[in-house]
Amino acid sequence: MKKNGGRSFRLLRTVLLSALAFAFLSACSLTNMVAERFKPTFTPMLDPITPTPDQQNCAWTWAYGDGSPEFDAAVSADLEAQGMRGYVVSSSFGENNSCDNSFAMMSLDVVAEIVVEQLSDPAALQNSADALSASLQENLSVSGVPNLGNVTLTFVTADSQTCFWDFDSGQCAE
């Protein structure tokens, strides 16, 4: 009797597990059918990358653009003529027009790095910063951009010590 009861239990367990597996697989199949039935459809726009708004809804958005290689070269040459080594890189700042995708430049941002012998001579750093500022103003017309924007100046020594110059205070920023 025990042997038969053990077989009945195993048979019942197998039937229940099979029914459970069948119910699970049926539910998965039903879920897939429902998901496929209500699947959203994609309708591509004519040009999804560059939508063309009507002229009444044009907008201007802030944007960055290319700098002026001619300006960079002129300022670099000016600094070199004054005995300073370093580099100057510019980028423009302005606005994009959403209707005609035009870019209107407002200012020229500048990043400059000047090599110095030491950072402990504030007068020499101030003189170099003043020379850079004068050169930037003198050569701005070369860029074709009407205004000078943000200017970031870093002094660097041969052993890679750096000083980020604060034009307002006339000293290295902390």
**What fold does the segment set 58-172 form as a domain?**
GMP Synthetase; Chain A, domain 3 (3.30.300)
Question: Could you give the CA distance from residue 68 to residue 145 in angstroms, rounded to a whole number?
Answer: 9
Short-list 139, 145, 65, 134, CA closest to 108: 145
**Worst-scoring range by mean pLDDT, 20-29, 59-68, 70-79, 126-135?**
20-29
Question: Could you give the CA distance from residue 9 to residue 18 in angstroms, rounded to a whole number?
Answer: 14
Structure token digits, residue 143:
């860029």
* Residue 37: band (very low, low, confident or very high) from pLDDT cuts 50, 70, 90: low
Model pLDDT for residues 85-127, shown as the tens digit of each residue: 999 999 988 888 888 878 777 899 999 999 999 999 999 999 9
Residue 19: the pLDDT is: 67
Residue 173: the pLDDT is: 85
What residue ranges do the domains of the chain occupy?
58-172
Has residue 28 got a pLDDT over 70? no
Question: Could you give the CA distance from residue 114 to residue 167 in angstroms, rounded to a whole number?
Answer: 14
Model pLDDT for residues 156-167, shown as the tens digit of each residue: 999 999 999 999
Q: What percent of the chain has pLDDT over 70?
A: 72
pTM beyond 0.75, yes or no: no
Structure token digits, residue 27:
């539910």
Q: Tell me which of 173 and 70 has the higher pLDDT.
A: 70
Q: What is the mean pLDDT of residues 15-33?
A: 64
Q: What is the mean pLDDT of residues 35-57?
A: 53
Residue 102: the pLDDT is: 81
